[in-house]
Amino acid sequence: MRRYLPILEWGRHYDRLSLLSDLLAAVIVTIMLIPQSLAYALLAGLPPEIGLYASIAPLLAYALFGTSRVLAVGPVAVVSLMTAAAVAPLAAQGSAEYLGAAIVLAALSGLILLAMGLLRLGWIANFISHPVMAGFITASALLIAAGQVPTLLGLQARGETLPSLFMALLPKLESARLDVLALGLAVTGFLFWARKGVQPLLRSFGMRPELAAAAGRAAPLLAVAASILLVRLTDLAPPLVGEIPRGLPLPALPSLDPALWQALLVPAALIALVGYVESVSVAQTLAARRRQRIAPDQELVALGAANLSSAFTGGFPVTGGFARSVVNADAGATTPAAGAFTALGMVMASFWLTPLLADLPKATLAATIIVAVLALVDLRALPRMLAYSRADGGAMAATIAATLLLGVETGITAGVVLSIFLHLWRSSRPHMAVIGQVPGTEHFRNVERHHVVTAPDVLSIRVDESLYFPNVRFLEDRLLIALAEKPGLAHVVLDCAAVNVIDASAVETLEQLMSRLDEAGVALHLSEVKGPVMDRLQRSSFLQHLTGRIFLTQFDAMMALAPDLTAGCRAADRCETARRRG
């Protein structure tokens, strides 16, 4: 029970001190979340109030089920972009169908996360490698920022890819409004400055550091308030957010149209995976700082519940956001109750702030989005990855290119498929070395790299990888080549020091190989076989058919098969015996 409801754990020890800390953190996060929630709803192509709705129930659900003390769940930029990409092909923006599809998307990704959590399938997310995730986040952030350019110009143009966005914007450029652009750039400049400049400024006025930090988080809300005042007090008439319904929606069941569910299945799975990877990474970073830990499988359950609750209260897909969670942690949140209080703050905002927001310029929200997402862009990672390995750098470059040019769904899918393909390719050709004895020692090293001696009728080969179906044929080819090229061969010794697993394909291939070698008069021996591997070999017929022997060490093997050679090592017990493999 406690595994699935962590609140039972931390709730027992909840005291006044925790309450105060959590309340303070909740106030600061709420101030930050109000403009973000509106902005990310617009980014997803939804009415702004949907952002508020998606910032209430999911926070409560996460407070019940989540294992991170400080994760702040809600609408985030990349998931909002993915929502827009998933829903846009199915319905016209602004229509009831569009909203309905976004709600189904939240329900479906919630169910997928929940199922992954209950079936303990969190490991699937490991297959989104770092280079792919980093490339995807960078490219998504660039797409999002580019997508705000039309709004900054007072125009309406959307596109799921850079080229389509450009083509949509181009014909409208002549009606761009410079006054709106001036407003947007001013807000953008202010917010960029505020990220670094507010705190020192306030502190130089004598404000307490914690208070100055909290005030710094209010910069976007301040920009929102100032923009509304500007619109009300001057003649400036930029495109506005417009009337926002006051209060909260009634809970409702998402649409159960099977065709819609089917159309959204793959996007929902991608959103679930990407959201989970982002969220868990944030939660782990913040938990480790306090020597706490999170339970990744339970996080799936919690994020699933958050998304389901979002769907039932008219919201769209949510996940744990990086910036918000860091602020929550820095502001002193000690339990998930801080999230629940934030939800309370958002409820109040839905009742009392919504009437004020009608005059909010969309360009102001676009500016907050741009400033938020440009922090996610990390193009310098690409040359770093390429320098480290071509496979990793290539996967990252492919993900960035595919995301920018073909859209988010194709981008992340291409990245994951390519990295798994490269992984399989790499594991299909393990490093192998023909080894020989370092004269006068019990060491055996790669004949191509070291000065070693070998016996003409013995081939010793070391495989630096477990033997399983993707790579065992590679070993087979290698040995058959040796068999054809070395006419005097009588013994093959397989040094298994680095072999952690031998699967059924490998055992069968080794047996076949053994009988082929046998027909050619060559015996197959094994050395340095690990305990668990040996246990398993004993369950197959391999050892009964073994034409050679099992040697405890490679040196034992050479002593038995090529005594002349090992005689150079005067006495086994006086040899330096520490064996290192490289």
Nearest-approach distance from CB 266 to a copy of itself, in angstroms: 16
Among 24, 27, 508, 547, binds a copy of itself (CB under 8 A): 508
Nearer to a copy of itself among residue 160 and residue 528 (C-beta): 528
Which is closer to a copy of itself, CB of 100 or CB of 131?
A: 131
Q: What is the 8-class DSSP label of residue 458? A: E
Question: Would you say 174 or 519 has its CB closer to a copy of itself?
Answer: 519
Q: Which is nearer to a copy of itself, 156 or 512 (by Cβ)?
A: 512
Asked if 21 touches a copy of itself (CB under 8 A), the answer is no
Give whole-number Cα distances, 244 to 48, 177, 352, in Å: 7, 25, 11
Per-residue burial over 86-124, b = 16 or more CB atoms within 10 Å of its CB, e = otherwise: bbbebbeeeeeebbbbbbbbbbbbbbbbbebbeeeebee
Cα–Cα distances in angstroms (integers) from residue 210 to residues 7, 223, 326, in the given order? 28, 21, 14
For position 115 contacting a copy of itself by CB under 8 A, the verdict is no
Tell me how many helices (H) and strands (E) the chain has: 25, 8
Residue 509 found at the interface with a copy of itself (CB under 8 A)? yes
Measured CA to CA, the distance from residue 337 to residue 229 in angstroms comes to 34
Nearer Cβ to a copy of itself (87/502): 502
Strands 319-320 and 73-74: antiparallel
Q: Tell me whether residue 33 or residue 125 sits nearer to a copy of itself (CB atom).
A: 125
Binding of residue 292 to a copy of itself (CB under 8 A): yes
Cα distance between the two ends of the chain: 49
Query: What is the C-alpha separation between 191 and 383, in angstroms, rounded?
Result: 29
Interaction of residue 293 with a copy of itself, rule CB under 8 A: yes
Q: Is residue 322 within the footprint of a copy of itself (CB under 8 A)?
A: no
What is the identity of the amino acid at 457?
Answer: D
- 330 lies in the site for a copy of itself, by CB under 8 A: no
Helices of type H across 5-95:
7-12, 16-43, 48-53, 57-65, 77-87
Tell whether residue 430 is a contact of a copy of itself (CB under 8 A). yes
Q: Are 123 and 320 in contact (CB under 8 A)?
A: no
* Pick 339 or 470: Cβ nearer a copy of itself: 470
Beta pairing class for 73-74 and 523-527: unpaired
Give, as ranges, the residues between 387 and 426 that touch a copy of itself (CB under 8 A).
387-389, 391-393, 419-420, 423-426
Query: Nearer to a copy of itself by C-beta: 221 or 524?
Result: 524
Residues 356-385 that bind a copy of itself (CB under 8 A): 384-385
Smallest distance from a copy of itself to CB 92, Å: 32
Q: How far is the CB of 414 from a copy of itself (least distance, A)?
A: 16
Q: Is 120 helix (H, G, I), strand (E, B) or coil?
A: coil
Q: In this complex, which beta carbon is closest to a copy of itself, that of residue 3 or of residue 289?
A: 289
Q: Are 522 and 494 in contact (CB under 8 A)?
A: no
How many CB atoms neighbour CB 184 within 10 A? 27
Closest CB 120 distance from a copy of itself, rounded Å: 11
Query: What is the spatial distance between Cα 182 and Cα 300, in angstroms, rounded to a whole number?
Result: 43
What DSSP string describes 469-517? HHHHHHHHHHHHHHHHH-TT--EEEEE-TT---B-HHHHHHHHHHHHHH
Give me the least distance between CB of 430 and a copy of itself, in Å please: 8
Instruction: Using alpha carbons, list the distances in angstroms from residue 126 to 23, 278, 501.
Output: 35, 12, 21
Site string for a copy of itself, 258-287 (x = CB under 8 A): -----------------------x--xx-x
Q: Of 92 and 266, which has the nearer Cβ to a copy of itself?
A: 266
Strand locations in 128-263 (E): none
Would you say 126 or 204 has its CB closer to a copy of itself? 126
Q: Can you point out the beta strands (E) in 46-169?
A: 73-74
Stretch that binds a copy of itself, among 66-74, 100-108, 530-538, 563-571 (CB under 8 A): 530-538
Whichever of 423 and 549 has its CB closer to a copy of itself, that residue is 423
Strand boundaries in 241-320, DSSP class E: 319-320
Q: Does 120 interact with a copy of itself (rule: CB under 8 A)?
A: no
How many angstroms separate the CA atoms of 319 and 73, rounded?
A: 5
Residue 522: count of CB within 10 angstroms of its CB: 23
At 214, the amino acid letter reads A
Backbone φ and ψ for 446, nearest 5 degrees, come out as -55, 125
Nearest alpha-carbon partner for 473 in 420, 418, 430: 430
- Scan residues 538-567 and list those touching a copy of itself (CB under 8 A): 539-541, 553
Instruction: Please say whether the beta carbons of 70 and 399 come within 8 A.
Output: no
CB of 287 vs a copy of itself, minimal distance in Å: 7
Residues 296-315 touching a copy of itself, rule: CB under 8 A, are 296
Q: Which of 252, 520, 543, 568 binds a copy of itself (CB under 8 A)?
A: 520
**Region 445-504 residues binding a copy of itself, contact defined as CB under 8 A:** 464-466, 468-474, 476-477, 480-481, 483-484, 487, 497-498, 500-501, 503-504
| Positions in 176-235 near a copy of itself (CB under 8 A) | none
The Cβ of residue 293 has, within 10 Å, a number of other Cβ atoms equal to: 12
Q: Please, what is the minimum distance in Å from the beta carbon of residue 394 to a copy of itself?
A: 11
Nearest approach in angstroms of CB 497 to a copy of itself is: 8
Residue 105 or 132: which CB sits closer to a copy of itself? 132
Decide: helix, strand or coil at residue 550. Answer: strand
Residue of the chain from 164, 427, 454, 547 that contacts a copy of itself (CB under 8 A): 427
Q: Which two tokens stand for residue 492?
A: 């093959």
130 binds a copy of itself (CB under 8 A): yes
Do residues 551 and 557 touch, judged by C-beta distance below 8 A?
yes
We find the least distance from the C-beta atom of residue 286 to a copy of itself, in angstroms, to be 9
Tokens coding 515: 């009988």
Binding residue count for a copy of itself, defined by CB under 8 A: 86
User: Whole-angstrom Cα distance, residue 569 to residue 29?
Assistant: 71
Select 95 or 500, whichever has its Cβ closest to a copy of itself: 500
Q: Which is nearer to a copy of itself, 192 or 469 (CB)?
A: 469
2, 291, 380, 451: which one binds a copy of itself (CB under 8 A)? 291
Could you tell me the smallest distance in angstroms from the CB atom of residue 499 to a copy of itself? 10
CB of 299 to a copy of itself, least distance (A): 11
> Which listed residue (3, 208, 232, 289) binds a copy of itself by CB under 8 A?
289
